[in-house]
Amino acid sequence: MSSPREVAERALARHPLLQGLEPEVRARFLTDGEVVVYAPGEFLSREGDPSAFYWLLCSGSVRVFYASPEGFEVTVKIFAAPAAWAEMELLTGHAHIEDCVAVDRSVVVRVPKVPFEKLLQDSPKLMRNVLYDTCARFLIAAQHERALAFLPVEKRLANLLLTYVRMFGVPVEGGLGIRVKLSQSELANGLGVARRSIARTLTQWVKQGLLKKAGTSYVVRDLPGLAKFANQELVGIDWVAGSDIQTSKALGPRSRG
């Protein structure tokens, strides 16, 4: 089995944020950074933590969310490797404004503030790559904010389920299974709505043959049918660095190749 550092080395060699960089600049991410492994459910950072690192996700996936004092957890982003984040907090000196937790076992490289700023200064190509990635995630956040304000629960739930299919969908008998735990309560928390609203909509979709419950998660039996309930213009909250923004509107699981 590969060590975390070996996983990180292979991932950084093809990480979209590092493409086009001189080999010596790319090598500094490992020499100046730290390889860290997080177990499923382990927090990478919490709201209010000092912003000390630029994070590069080399394997696995993480969920980013806002948590209320009452226990609601509104999911705002889901990242799958390769991904990167926290440049906004790091460069402005602001504390983390969200919580970030590992969904799968995740290997990350985290680069401290001063070396990261020096890398940006030394490499215009890296600065451009980071700028594009930041703009793409800002677009996702802006659309998500609008959806929270104006879209009905049914459309937001359909979009969220399509996000989970893209990120965690696997072919199973009868459709596409979502391989991570996904209860009604977790979906309600993810949207910041009451559980009864989610339960009512899911019951209707099960009756219509769009979904079926499978253990601790769901199987999507009719993907095009579910997509009809979604807002087709909304960019998904899932993001993989280097993607075309349209990828986060596609149906079906992402290519893992």
Summarised one tens digit per residue, pLDDT across range 26-50 is 999 999 999 999 999 999 999 999 9
pLDDT for position 256: 59
Poorest-confidence range of 102-106, 137-141, 158-162?
137-141
Confidence band of 248 (pLDDT split at 50, 70, 90): confident
* Interstrand relation of 217-220 and 175-178 (parallel, antiparallel or unpaired): antiparallel
Residue 38 burial (CB count, 10 A): 20
Task: Please choose, from the candidates 79, 75, 113, the residue with its C-alpha nearest in 3D space to the C-alpha of residue 93.
Answer: 113
Q: Is the model's pLDDT at 237 over the cut of 60?
A: yes
Q: What confidence tens digit (pLDDT) does each residue in 142-181 have? A: 888 888 778 899 999 999 999 999 999 999 999 999 999 9
pTM for the structure as a whole: 0.90
Mean pLDDT of the chain: 92
Domain at 152-233: CATH code? 1.10.10.10
Q: Is the pLDDT of residue 257 over 60?
A: no
Residue ranges, CATH 2.60.120.10, the chain: 4-148
d(CA 75, CA 144): 10
Question: What is the mean pLDDT of the segment spanning 223-244?
Answer: 89
| Contact by Cβ (8 Å): 245, 86 | no
* Other beta carbons less than 10 A from residue 71's beta carbon: 8
Query: pLDDT tens for residues 200-218?
Result: 999 999 999 999 999 999 9
- Helices 113-122, 23-32: axis angle to 10 degrees equals 180
pLDDT in tens, 65-99: 988 887 778 888 999 999 999 999 999 999 999 99
Q: Where in the chain is the domain with CATH 1.10.10.10?
A: 152-233
* DSSP label of 98: S
Q: Determine how many CB atoms are found less than 10 A away from the CB of residue 86.
A: 22
Q: Domain 4-148: give its CATH code.
A: 2.60.120.10
CA 105/CA 122 separation, integer angstroms: 32
Is the bond preceding 112 in cis, omega lying within 30 degrees of 0? no
Q: Which residue has the higher pLDDT, 158 or 244?
A: 158
3 state SS of 227: helix
How far is the C-alpha of 91 from the C-alpha of 152, rounded, in Å? 36
The residues that bridge with 110 in the sheet, in sequence order, are 34, 55
Judge whether residue 187 has pLDDT over 80: yes
